C-alpha cells in the first residue's frame, strides 16, 4: 500500500492529458467520459496527484452561470477520480479542496456536484439538493448527456456546498484529517 508521503498534488499540465483521459475512462460507470480534445482544452481546470511521475488522481471544475445574475455563478466539481490502489488516503479530499481553493478567487455562490459518491462529498461539507435547484447544470450539461435520457431520473445524486457561508472555509479545511500529500 502507498504510504502517501511520495504523492504530490498540483495543477495539471498538458503532459498530463493522456493519463487524465485514461483515468477518467477507467471510471466510466461513475464519470462522464471526456474526449481527449476536451481534456486538453480544459487542462487549466484540472488538478492532479502524482506519485513518482505517475498520475494517480484527477479532479476538475467548471463555472456555471446563473442566468440573469452573473454574480451568482456556481462552480461544478467534475471528473474526480482516484486510482483504485490509492483510495482512502485522503487524496480525493486534497484534490477537491485544491479545486475549491483555486476557484475561491472568483467567489462563486456554491459548488455543486452530480455524483455516485455522496459519502465522500458529505465529508467535504456538501449536502444533497433537489436536481430542480440546479437547472443551470441541467440545461448546460445534462441535456446533452449520452448516459441517461432524463436528468431527473438519472441515478447520480445532486449535492451542493454553500461557498458564501462563514462555515464553508472551516468545513472544507477541517472536515477530514490532513492527508499525507505534499503540495508542489
Ligand atoms: C470517490 C473517490 C474520488 C474518493 O477518493 P478517495 O481519495 O478514496 O477519498 P478520501 O480518502 O479523500 O475519502 C475521504 C472520506 O470520504 C469518505 N469516503 C471516501 N470513499 C468512500 C466510500 N467508497 N464509501 C464511503 N465513504 C467514503 C470517507 O469518510 C473518507 O474518510 P476515511 O477514509 O477517513 O473514512 C474515489 O473513491 C473514486 O475515484 N471513485 C470512483 C470515481 C467517482 O465515483 N468519483 C466521484 C464522482 S464526481
Which one of 120, 158, 178 would you pick to mutate in the ligand 1 pocket, going by the greatest count of ligand atoms within 8 A of its CB? 120
pLDDT for 148 equals 86
Percent of the chain with pLDDT over 90: 66
Q: What is the DSSP letter of 137?
A: H
Domains and CATH numbers, the chain: 7-183 (3.40.630.30)
Q: How confident is the model at residue 179 (pLDDT cuts 50, 70, 90)?
A: very low
pLDDT for 169 equals 53
pLDDT for 70 equals 82
d(CA 98, CA 118): 19
pLDDT for 104 equals 92
Tens digit of each residue's pLDDT (9 = 90 or more) over 135-166: 888 878 888 888 888 888 888 999 999 998 65
Percent of the chain with pLDDT over 70: 86
- Residue of the CA atom closest to atom 33 of ligand 1: 88
Q: Write the burial class of residue 77 (CB in 10 Å: 0-12 exposed, 13-18 middle, 19+ buried).
A: buried
* SS3 label, residue 113: strand
Tens digit of each residue's pLDDT (9 = 90 or more) over 67-126: 788 888 999 999 999 999 999 999 999 999 999 999 999 999 999 999 999 999 999 999
| Secondary structure element (H or E) that encloses residue 161, with its range | strand 157-162
Q: Is the CB of 91 under 6 A from ligand 1?
A: yes
Which one of 22, 30, 88 would you pick to mutate in the ligand 1 pocket, going by the greatest count of ligand atoms within 8 A of its CB? 88
pLDDT for 164 equals 81
Q: Which of 28-37, 115-124, 173-182 has the lowest mean pLDDT?
A: 173-182
pLDDT for 134 equals 87
- Say how many C-beta atoms besides its own lie within 10 A of residue 176's C-beta: 16
- Asked if 90 contacts 82 with a C-beta cutoff of 8 angstroms, the reply is no
Mean pLDDT of the chain: 87
Q: Each residue of 135-153: b (16+ CB within 10 Å) or e? A: ebbbeebbeeeeeeeebee
Amino acid at each position: 500500500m502507498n504510504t502517501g508521503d511520495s504523492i504530490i498534488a498540483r495543477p495539471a499540465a498538458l503532459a498530463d492529458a493522456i493519463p487524465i483521459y485514461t483515468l477518467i475512462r477507467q471510471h466510466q460507470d461513475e464519470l462522464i467520459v471526456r474526449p481527449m480534445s476536451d481534456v486538453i482544452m480544459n487542462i487549466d481546470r484540472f488538478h492532479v496527484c502524482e506519485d513518482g511521475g505517475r498520475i494517480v488522481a484527477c479532479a476538475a471544475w467548471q463555472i456555471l452561470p446563473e442566468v440573469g445574475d452573473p454574480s451568482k455563478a456556481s462552480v461544478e466539481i467534475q471528473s474526480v477520480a482516484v486510482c483504485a490502489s490509492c483510495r482512502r488516503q485522503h487524496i480525493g479530499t486534497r484534490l477537491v479542496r485544491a479545486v475549491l481553493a483555486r476557484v475561491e478567487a472568483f467567489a462563486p455562490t456554491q459548488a455543486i456536484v452530480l455524483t455516485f459518491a455522496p459519502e465522500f462529498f458529505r465529508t467535504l461539507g456538501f449536502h444533497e439538493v433537489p436536481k430542480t435547484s440546479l437547472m443551470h447544470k441541467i440545461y448546460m450539461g445534462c441535456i446533452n448527456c449520452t448516459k441517461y435520457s432524463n436528468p431527473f431520473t438519472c441515478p447520480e445524486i445532486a449535492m451542493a456546498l454553500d461557498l458564501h457561508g462563514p462555515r464553508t472555509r472551516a468545513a472544507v479545511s477541517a472536515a477530514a484529517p490532513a492527508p499525507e500529500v505534499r503540495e508542489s
